[in-house]
């Protein structure tokens, strides 16, 4: 039966906990890392979330990345309305899939062919399977703190919700699966070389977030990505970029365009769905042609290329093509970063605030964070206090110190200034 209007977040959460494990359908939403009861959203528009409790929040989570245009964009809404007139799912090829594939292959430097799926997790899982099938090898190298969805072989030393909840290695994953995954520190070329040397002709591929954004935001050292590309070439292994977060957000072509390093395969999601569930993976044509029905690597999905997701996603990407927002988002990101760091400096609070374009995060530590160990060594308590101060004053940050914040094109100058003031006051309140 429908939930009645006027129901509070507290009562909804109590009911949800009786029906849904932990009361949430994705663990980080439970507020376990920051404490308190999660709010329930009634609606969203532009840079705002509207809660069932009547609170209006400036949103820096942006549905965990997809809402680069803000929430409920009128052109995306109109595209969905038009697509809905034709049906919700076909189970056959449809024009929207071809349009999406054209946009991705035209924009992402390394992608010659692409396969559409339903989530970022499905994209990374399929890319890893394809790498193994293409090379005939079993082992995968990943980096500690990089999160690639809840894929069995990749949920090892992971970030995001797994890290937030203190269990980066999930129960239910056989040791035999985990043994095929080699974990090395990010920004450590020597450890990477050692992993290749210790496993000659056994590494199918290396997967990473080129800008790790599920343990806060970590940026690569100069030449690290180039070294990674070179080592993969030397050892006959595929380089897989997980650009589910950074694709179409750092630039239209993602980190690979910004850093001028081309992977062999790329996993994508979030922005390409315009707020609807979607994922994709793509790369060199000769590698992608190993997928069924052309080749022996099987992958399928009933709702892949769903017409509603394609309508929203194509409109989202079209808006980015018509008026690229990246220089403006970079300016806004720097403005927020400088304001918050100044407030921290005035209070004598050690704070690192890494920022790339519209992405940023908080680390309460003296030194720049370059890897998982340094990220998890930072003081977490100040973030909890800042989170709740901001929430009480109308600004929503990710409910974990190990997540990344996002700015959208809907965060105009006045909204950004208002949010900056709240965040600075939150720092001053420590």
Residues carrying an active site annotation:
147, 242, 270
Rounded to whole angstroms, the Cα distance separating 210 from 167 reads 23
Q: Please report how the helices 413-428 and 381-392 are oriented relative to each other, as an axis angle in degrees rounded to 10.
A: 130
Strand segments (E) across 9-138:
41-45, 48-51, 56-59, 113-117
Rounded to whole angstroms, the Cα distance separating 107 from 87 reads 29
410 exposed, middle or buried (CB, 10 Å; 0-12, 13-18, 19+)? buried
CA 260, distance to chain mean position in Å, is 20
Close Cβ partners of 54 (under 8 Å, ≥ 6 residues apart): none
User: Which tokens sit at 365?
Assistant: 């530590």
Give me the sheet containing 359-360, strands edge to edge. 355-356, 359-360, 405-406
Spatial CA neighbour of 362 closest among 370, 373, 350, 354: 354
User: Which tokens sit at 190?
Assistant: 């020597």
Q: What torsion, rounded to 10 degrees, do the Cα atoms 67, 400, 168, 153 define? A: 0
Q: Where are the alpha helices (DSSP H) in 262-367?
A: 285-288, 307-322, 326-347
Contact 281, 265 (CB under 8 A): yes
Name the DSSP class of 5.
Answer: T
Contact 298, 125 (CB under 8 A): no
378 exposed, middle or buried (CB, 10 Å; 0-12, 13-18, 19+)? buried
Query: How far separated are the first and last CA of the chain, in Å rounded?
Result: 44
Spatial CA neighbour of 279 closest among 14, 12, 65: 65
């Amino acid at each position: 039966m429908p939930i009645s209007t006027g129901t509070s977040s507290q009562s909804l959460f109590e009911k949800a906990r009786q029906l849904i494990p932990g009361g949430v359908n994705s663990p980080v939403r439970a507020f376990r890392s920051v404490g308190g009861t999660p709010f329930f959203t009634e609606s969203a528009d532009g840079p705002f979330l509207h809660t069932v409790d009547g609170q209006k929040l400036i949103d820096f989570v942006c549905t965990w990345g997809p809402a680069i245009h803000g929430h409920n964009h009128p052109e995306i809404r109109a595209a969905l309305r038009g697509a809905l007139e034709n049906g919700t799912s076909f189970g056959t090829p449809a024009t929207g899939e071809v349009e999406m594939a054209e946009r991705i292959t035209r924009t992402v430097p390394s992608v010659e062919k692409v396969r559409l799926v339903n989530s970022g997790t499905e994209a990374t899982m399929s890319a890893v399977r394809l790498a193994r099938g293409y090379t005939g090898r079993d082992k995968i190298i990943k980096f500690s703190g990089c999160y690639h969805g809840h894929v069995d072989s990749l949920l090892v030393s992971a970030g995001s919700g797994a890290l937030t909840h203190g269990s980066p290695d999930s129960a239910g994953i056989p040791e035999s699966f985990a043994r095929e995954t080699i974990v090395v520190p990010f920004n450590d070329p020597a450890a990477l070389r050692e992993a290749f040397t210790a496993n000659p002709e056994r590494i199918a591929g290396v997967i990473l977030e080129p800008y790790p954004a599920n343990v806060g935001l970590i940026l690569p050292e100069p030449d690290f990505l180039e070294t990674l590309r070179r080592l993969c070439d030397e050892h006959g292994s595929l380089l897989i970029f997980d650009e589910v977060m950074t694709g179409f957000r750092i630039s239209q072509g993602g980190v690979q365009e910004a850093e001028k390093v081309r992977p062999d395969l790329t996993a994508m999601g979030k922005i390409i769905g315009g707020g609807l569930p979607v994922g994709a993976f793509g790369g060199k044509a000769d590698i992608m042609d190993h997928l069924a029905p052309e080749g022996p690597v099987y992958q399928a999905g009933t709702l892949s290329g769903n017409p509603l997701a394609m309508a929203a996603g194509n409109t989202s990407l079209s808006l980015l093509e018509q008026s690229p927002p990246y220089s403006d988002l970079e300016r806004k990101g720097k403005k927020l970063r400088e304001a918050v760091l100044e407030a921290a400096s005035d209070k004598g609070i050690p704070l690192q605030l890494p920022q790339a374009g519209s992405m940023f995060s908080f680390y309460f530590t003296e030194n720049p964070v370059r890897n998982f160990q340094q990220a998890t060594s930072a003081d977490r308590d100040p973030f909890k206090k800042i989170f709740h101060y901001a929430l009480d004053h109308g600004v929503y940050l990710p409910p974990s110190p190990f997540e990344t914040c996002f700015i959208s094109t809907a965060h105009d100058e006045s909204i950004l200034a208002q949010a900056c003031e709240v965040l600075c006051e939150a720092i001053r309140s420590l």
